[in-house]
Amino acid sequence: MQTVLISGGTGLLGKALTKHLTAKGYGVIILSRQLPAANGQLPGTNISYAKWDVKQQQMDIEALQKADYIIHLAGAGVMEKKWTEEYKKEIVSSRTESAKLIVESLKQNPNKVKAVISASAIGYYGEDKNDGKFFTEDDPADDNFLGETCKLWEESITPVTALNKRLVKLRIGIVLSKNGGALKEFITPLKMGVAAILGNGKQMISWIHIDDLCRLFLFAVENEKINGVYNAVAPAAVNNKTLTLTLAKKMKRLFYIPFYVPVLILKIMLGNRSIEILKSATVSCKKIIAAGFDFKFENIETALEDIVKH
């Protein structure tokens, strides 16, 4: 049995990924500040927990030495709190300092880790330029807060390549899941019969079904030829209005009122975070498809149908 060490394993993606990994026979060790059981092992499973403390730059080295692969997901939620200067620093440091701990731990201790798969995000890119072009992995980072954050995030894990570790960075789009994340913000008003379209609704959303995202991480783990940066988005981006109205229909709402939430209201409610809500970013997944990955959910209709029925 091969073992995967996961940082950020208690989040939405981490929990889903753990299920996918254990279903395929992997052992999973989740790095956490708190152990849920006396010995860190969940009875009857291939899941265990190991302690780490990013602020103190400390990690359970025994857990590290059991790992064949590392999946790095750790980072403070980008949309969870107001972007004060203090929280912006936490968003960046939670990603870069956790990556630094992984790098230094690998550097200083004997280990058998073959590859590191690190999350990043399509916040790396800026706004669509209305020239019909999709963002590709070769495009530069945007100079806004999230662009710079993603750039620093990716740079902080890059030193593992000097340790002869294969490194894959997945720039993740808007994750669609029934268990939380962005889709929850669309579902909540629909339960009250309101289809809340943000701004003019024309902004393009590059999304991915959480099952495809988990499969993509597994694909990166299991394929030695996968190396470098890949966009983790579905082939067919949609605009905000289409996503909202498609979800309404899939939820079989016989009656709902489309309501355009004014930009001013979003800015008052979200502050600087509204920039990301209103930004149009059409991102290409051609590189990962060319590498052999096959999406199960290629379009928004099948993705939302699956999410709603479960």
What would the mean pLDDT of 86-98 be, rounded to a whole number? 96
Residue type (1 letter), 213: L
Percent of the chain with pLDDT over 70: 96
Q: State yes or no: pLDDT of 156 exceeds 80.
A: yes
Which of 35-44, 141-150, 157-166, 284-293 has the weakest average pLDDT?
Answer: 35-44
Cα gap 111→115, rounded to integer Å = 11
Which pLDDT band, with edges at 50, 70 and 90, does 254 fall under?
Answer: low
How far is it between the farthest Cα atoms of the chain? Answer: 61
Q: What are 164-211's pLDDT values in tens digits?
A: 999 999 999 999 998 888 888 888 888 888 889 999 999 999 999 999
Strand ranges of the sheet holding 174-177, from the earlier edge strand across to the other edge? 180-181, 174-177, 207-209
Phi and psi dihedrals of 164, rounded to 5? 65, 35
Q: State yes or no: pLDDT of 44 exceeds 60.
A: no
Cα gap 148→65, rounded to integer Å = 32
130: left (phi over 0), alpha (psi -120 to 50) or beta: left
Q: State yes or no: pLDDT of 244 exceeds 60.
A: yes
Cα gap 169→150, rounded to integer Å = 11
What would the mean pLDDT of 232-238 be, rounded to a whole number? 97
pTM for this model (two decimals): 0.93
Torsion sign, CA atoms 12, 13, 16, 19? negative
Classify residue 285 as exposed, middle or buried by CB count within 10 Å of its CB (0-12, 13-18, 19+). Answer: buried
pLDDT confidence of residue 118: 98
Residue that wins the pLDDT comparison between 182 and 58 = 58
Q: Can you count the helices (H) and strands (E) in the chain?
A: 11, 15
- Tokens 């983790």 belong to which residue? 232
Mean of pLDDT over the chain: 92
CA-based R_g, the chain, Å: 20
Q: State yes or no: pLDDT of 224 exceeds 90.
A: yes
Residue that wins the pLDDT comparison between 190 and 94 = 94
Q: Which CATH number is correct for 3-241+269-309, 3.10.20.30, 3.40.50.300, 3.40.50.620, 3.40.50.720?
A: 3.40.50.720
